[in-house]
Homo-oligomer: A and B are copies of this chain.
């Protein structure tokens, strides 16, 4: 890593492309002046917006490409026309070639996953990447994974999510033995999907010295912070994440309209405005935008496709932290150590057969 944190952006990704990515990058640059950006995208789209953001322009180089991945293409289609040359591919490829320390894209999730996997390759022992989200809770933060990289998961994949997620929690939260729960629709052992039940059995009966499996958790346990790591497959995880974001926005609206209905409420609002500001920040789902791809040889951050500049900036902030604090390397080391411990234990006849 150079002194600068070098971040590659897929400027064409997301619902709004350059008009969100570029202002977002400038916001994040304001917070982290040591970022150096490379912007991958169509110069015709990038240049005019960049002109309006001179601070960013001074800290960014532009790499032109005419190919952009469409939001509604299948990963296989995207790979066919977008490999080697699309803005998404080039951003990932910059990480591969060590020209950048991390890549951020708000583009098509499936395509991003396929390209990242194809180009960066997976870490030893991991079959499929996962997207991990940092979820604000009443106790602080938890890690929820997978929130959309892979649809459906067998028991073994869920167990590997537990391992990856707990390695991430150990590094991010500095907890020696993070607690892990499996997202299910009831705490009773008999409920839920077959894969989730099987994973529960493996985690319960197995010998995992590096995390503490506490059992099934339900949707409302996520916000309570019942466990450090919530494990689920990508369909349910993504629905949980977006539902929580939608609920936060909805309650923000309720609050706003309640506080403007009477003069007493308006006066109360003025008096308590600092408290409301803090609250608004806490309730703002954009603040926790940005999912980390886990399991890859390189840092790739997925931003929501529909986010605005503030949300995209949060995804860049996350990439920055991953690089500056060498989080991916630490997570990888931690995961490798755990894996060796387990394998040694198994070879010695311990652990699950």
Contacts and interface: CB of A to CB of B under 8 A. Distances in A.
Nearest to A71: B188
Interface of A: 71-74, 108-110, 137-138, 148, 151-152, 183, 185-186, 188-193, 218-224, 232, 234-236, 238-251, 253-255, 258-259, 261-262, 264-265, 267-276, 278-279, 282-283
Contacts of A191: 110
A154 to B, nearest CB: 14
Given A71-B188, A185-B238, A236-B235, A271 B274 contact: no
A251 to B, nearest CB: 5
Contacts of A108: 188
A194 to B, nearest CB: 9
Given A110-B191, A244-B244, A269-B272, A258 B278 contact: yes
B240 A239 contact: yes
Contacts of A236: 235-236, 239
Given A109-B186, A183-B239, A265-B275, 15 more contacts: A151-B192, A151-B193, A218-B242, A220-B243, A222-B246, A223-B249, A236-B236, A239-B239, A244-B246, A258-B275, A264-B274, A264-B275, A265-B271, A268-B270, A268-B271
Given A186-B109, A259-B275, A241 B264 contact: no
30 contacts: A72-B189, A73-B190, A109-B186, A110-B190, A110-B191, A138-B250, A183-B239, A185-B238, A219-B244, A219-B245, A219-B246, A222-B246, A223-B246, A223-B249, A224-B246, A239-B240, A240-B240, A240-B243, A244-B246, A255-B279, A258-B272, A258-B279, A259-B275, A261-B275, A261-B278, A264-B271, A267-B268, A267-B271, A267-B272, A269-B272
